[in-house]
Structure 1
Amino acid sequence: MNTRIPRRVLLLGGLAALLSGCASKFRSYNGPEVTRLRMYKAQRLLVLDGADDVLRTYPIGLGFAPEGHKQFEGDGRTPEGSYVIDRRNPDSLFHLSIGISYPNEADIAFAEAQGRSPGKDIFIHGGPRRGIDPVNVRDWTAGCISVTDRQIEEIYAMVRDGTPIDIYA
């Protein structure tokens, strides 16, 4: 029995390994500027607006308690209101992530008046490294907004820090 591997198979396998090693989660974007994000919780939809029209839309997952505005740490809710994209995390446990400026002053004041913490670290992010498919399992986060890994790669490239985001019930 001949156990030699054909040369073409070796070359194609080597090429595939080389290309996969060059793959990156960081994409470039040279299109129109994203001027605002709009998120509609009830419709599970994230909209990226440009100056003249909608640039992209994405289906989303939310916190495990999706209805209502986030008020306290651990409530599983996603905030509602006007915020900005204020940071990015290339080493996120959730593939990539971009941060939302929750809590704002009103969120902090409300929680403190109740003797509680408002929580923090609300992000738009991809799926976790293992275990959950954010497309087929909805509302699994602790209050963040989830999209697929491929989608967060696009969003991460398109959206700049300081971009406003309006989150609607």
Structure 2
Amino acid sequence: MALVLTSVAISQPKVDKDEYYVVIKKSDFTLTVYNRNHVWVARYPVVFGSKDLGDKMIAGDRKTPEGTFHIVSKKVHSKWCRFLALDYPNAESYEKFNERKAHGVISPNASIGGGIGIHGTWPNEDFAVDNYQPWTEGCISTKNEYIIELYNLLPVGTKVIIEP
């Protein structure tokens, strides 16, 4: 008589998009996760694309946008470990962008950009986060071990607030 072993997949309970929210404080280089009761859950160091921590103005300026966004997709990334895509530009972003154009703050021919997300670092380059090196094109980057934790914790739809 043969012994047959079967494996049973143990699934994680589905987390509601409103279970957590994220606050990124550019001036503190932090990403903090809160639960729905506004209790601090985790905090991670992050870096951005420019030493100028001002709000994103136009495509290619390497600045990180400020405002309220949501995670719209998640994927394992060949370069940056994991990628949590944000819904930038959204209606709030377009409103600020168009207002800046109307007031001559930016060129009438400028474009708003896109492709902003939260991701890891290049393989073996977590030191960029330790050294607060700006290296992205405007995304938020953290250490690979941290982005894996965030990827596993935060569902699509999670609110992300980026503050100055």
User: What is the aligned-residue RMSD (CA, Å)?
Assistant: 2.3
Please name the residue that 1:80 is paired with: 66
Change beyond 3 A, Cα 1:76–1:157: same
Change beyond 3 A, Cα 1:132–1:54: closer
Larger radius of gyration: 1
Q: How far 1:109 sits from its partner (Å)? A: 5.1
What is the aligned counterpart of 1:50 among 20, 35, 58?
A: 35
State whether residues 66 and 78 of structure 1, in contact with CA within 8 Å, keep that contact through their aligned partners in structure 2: no
Distance between the aligned counterparts of 2:14 and 2:32, measured in 1?
16
Distance between the aligned counterparts of 2:59 and 2:51, measured in 1?
12
Distance between the aligned counterparts of 1:29 and 1:55, measured in 2?
18
Q: How far 1:100 sits from its partner (Å)? A: 1.2
* SS of equivalent to 2:84: strand
CA-to-partner distance for each residue in 1:82-131, whole Å, 9 max, x for gaps? 11111112134211110111111243355464321111111111111366
- Is residue 69 of structure 1 aligned with residue 69 of structure 2? no
State whether residues 67 and 93 of structure 2, in contact with CA within 8 Å, keep that contact through their aligned partners in structure 1: no
TM-score, normalised with respect to structure 1: 0.74
Change beyond 3 A, Cα 1:120–1:133: same
- Is residue 104 of structure 1 aligned with residue 90 of structure 2? yes
* SS of equivalent to 1:90: strand
Distance between the aligned counterparts of 2:47 and 2:97, measured in 1?
25
Q: Higher relative CO (CA 8 A, sep ≥ 6), structure 1 or 2?
A: 2
Matched letter for residue 42 of structure 1: S
Q: How many residues align?
A: 142
What is the aligned counterpart of 2:137 among 139, 142, 154?
A: 142
* SS of equivalent to 1:93: coil
Please name the residue that 1:36 is paired with: 21
Please name the residue that 1:151 is paired with: 146
Matched letter for residue 159 of structure 1: L
Runs of at least 5 residues in structure 1 that lack an aligned partner in the other structure: 1-27
Identity percentage of aligned residues: 27
State whether residues 71 and 107 of structure 1, in contact with CA within 8 Å, keep that contact through their aligned partners in structure 2: no
